[in-house]
Structure 1
């Protein structure tokens, strides 16, 4: 965008620059607000306790890492929101482009190495943000080198009518800010905020009593060995559930209370191979539960008559306290 180029060409170049910024803002917002409201990666829940590392997909491993720390997830979303706000204004768009190139470059690298399907989109956004920053990169390079940077680049008005331009120069940025912030109001209304169950049932349990006889072969033993009831409610009011069978199979599901001491459980097929995001429920059962005087949980229904005991080893990740003072590293 050199000054010796015709005025119409300079106007066209900056118009395309503005259009690219708009496209980038619209593309960033869903991911940014989803992180802020903890709906993209969610929250690590008790139901995650029964997965082994080997059962996770690369993407699932990354999602679990991000979901463990809500603070990291929210800060990542706020960083993307900051980039979107900076892109609204022409004078700060270069800074948004630079920050966004770094932020989305990291996202692209993670998507690439953890095989997240949107790696192509992340690459396109990274390149687009770099293009937004390009007009000011020579000045940034001179600043870093300690050389004079000169004044701001003179950008010709995109609209040739002075009165229209006088209104548009304020109206367009105002609409841009509204575009960035509006989803922050609507997102909780549509997706809701994470809510914690008030029930005493959520936890990670090991089966300590089961009257059912074992199968002749371990591979055919489908008795429940471990059960994890999640504590975070989804948009439908249901929480996640996982069951580890004696033969090693893992069953995922969701449960929701129907009345005191009774939950309805939707069970999916045994976890095996690739799975789609939307799955068909294999069967729905009702389970009754009550906490016994010794703290164990009696669970009945769907052919089960079990006694469950909370397992501190299986929920170690959730019970581990934070410590600022130097301590012996615990890397298990």
Structure 2
């Protein structure tokens, strides 16, 4: 059998052809291919970012309206004349929150903080967690007190939970005391140069939006201004004759003038007639001793939030030496005085000292 010697160019040899080349030769190292971008995953992160934007907007609106006491306001004197049974469930909730401004402020602070944490991806999980607790409480109150925005509260709760979802395994491991894997920071914008610009533009714009209500809401928030009229009063003198039947007696019995200045420099008021009918309304000072009163129709049934005044008239008031007030105008000539029992809730105040419970 004849022998055949393989040449260097013979592909049948076992020796590698490139063995003679240097190990660090560029020709021996193939270029690293870019990691392919997963389009479905990128779209999911785009949806995640869009959801954060939507929730951020709602949390800023509702959070700042509570921080500035605009949503529930303050519990004004005009609320004193409502009988407990005349309240709607939503009105009862509003009065409960309005009585404690600190509670309303802290509720708004939680919502604003949750919204701010949603601005950055690294903290969005904490914003989603905080927002889930806040919106869960809001949804529960809306369900129990029949507040109309139940669907919106449910949407925000689900949205906050979805924002938290990508980081839920890490949070679960942390709660169980296990080692938490490093956070996966996605890049919805796959182009590094574009991402370097957009990451700062969007976050800076969001911070400006989060702080802008400091200027807007402060101008719209109600302010408290006490006047001699402010308070809850009972009629003690009236020149008008009583009606033959109590149900037909339209004389004034009790009147409450609010202290919070609302839009167009008006304040809220309520009027209880001798026959038990309750009128809501507004008044505003038009001079040193005159007020313009606008009364709504008698409180009855499911009345809307915005109502047209049923009658408008001007009253002249005079503060008497004994602290009472004389009202004249529109066929009225009566004297009112502050009633401590009708305003007991407003005068009770706070006491740190232990004592017998006052649960009336």
TM-score exceeds 0.5: yes
Residue 298 of structure 1 pairs with residue 326 of structure 2:
yes
Aligned CA RMSD, in angstroms, stands at 1.5
Task: Give the structure 2 partner of residue 39 of structure 1.
Answer: 70
Judge conservation of contact 2:89–2:145 (CA < 8 Å) in 1.
yes
Give me the whole-angstrom Cα distance separating, in 2, the residues matched to 1:79 and 1:5.
Answer: 40
Q: 1:127 aligns with which of 158, 164, 167?
A: 158
Give me the whole-angstrom Cα distance separating, in 2, the residues matched to 1:101 and 1:310.
Answer: 46
Query: Alpha-carbon deviations, 1:119-146, whole Å to 9, x = none?
Result: 1100000000000001111111111111
Q: 1:217 aligns with which of 245, 255, 270?
A: 245
What's the secondary structure of 1:254's corresponding residue? strand
Q: CA deviation at 1:96?
A: 0.7
Give me the whole-angstrom Cα distance separating, in 1, the residues matched to 2:176 and 2:223.
Answer: 51
Query: Alpha-carbon deviations, 1:21-70, whole Å to 9, x = none?
Result: 00111122111111111111111111111011101100000001111111
Task: Give the structure 2 partner of residue 258 of structure 1.
Answer: 286
Residue 201 of structure 1 pairs with residue 232 of structure 2:
no
What's the secondary structure of 1:131's corresponding residue? helix
For 1:45-84, list aligned pairs within 5 A. 45-84=76-115
Structure number with bigger Rg: 2
What's the secondary structure of 1:236's corresponding residue? helix
Judge conservation of contact 2:121–2:185 (CA < 8 Å) in 1.
no
Query: Alpha-carbon deviations, 1:75-108, whole Å to 9, x = none?
Result: 1111100000011110111111111111100000
TM-score by length of 2: 0.88
Task: Give the structure 2 partner of residue 162 of structure 1.
Answer: 192
Residue 30 of structure 1 pairs with residue 30 of structure 2:
no
Q: Where do 5+ consecutive residues of structure 2 fail to align?
A: 1-34
Q: CA deviation at 1:186?
A: 2.2
Aligned residues: 326
Residue 139 of structure 1 pairs with residue 170 of structure 2:
yes
Give me the whole-angstrom Cα distance separating, in 1, the residues matched to 2:169 and 2:270.
Answer: 55
Judge conservation of contact 2:296–2:310 (CA < 8 Å) in 1.
yes
What's the secondary structure of 2:112's corresponding residue? helix
Q: CA deviation at 1:198?
A: 4.7
Residue 115 of structure 1 pairs with residue 125 of structure 2:
no
Q: CA deviation at 1:6?
A: 6.2
Give me the whole-angstrom Cα distance separating, in 2, the residues matched to 1:185 and 1:154.
Answer: 34
TM-score by length of 1: 0.95
Residue 10 of structure 1 pairs with residue 41 of structure 2:
yes
Q: Where do 5+ consecutive residues of structure 1 fail to align?
A: none
Give me the whole-angstrom Cα distance separating, in 2, the residues matched to 1:130 and 1:240.
Answer: 40
Task: Give the structure 1 partner of residue 11 of structure 2.
Answer: none
Give me the whole-angstrom Cα distance separating, in 2, the residues matched to 1:30 and 1:148.
Answer: 38
Instruction: Indicate how the Cα distance of structure 1 residues 174 and 220 shifts in structure 2: closer, same or farther if over 3 A, else same.
Output: same
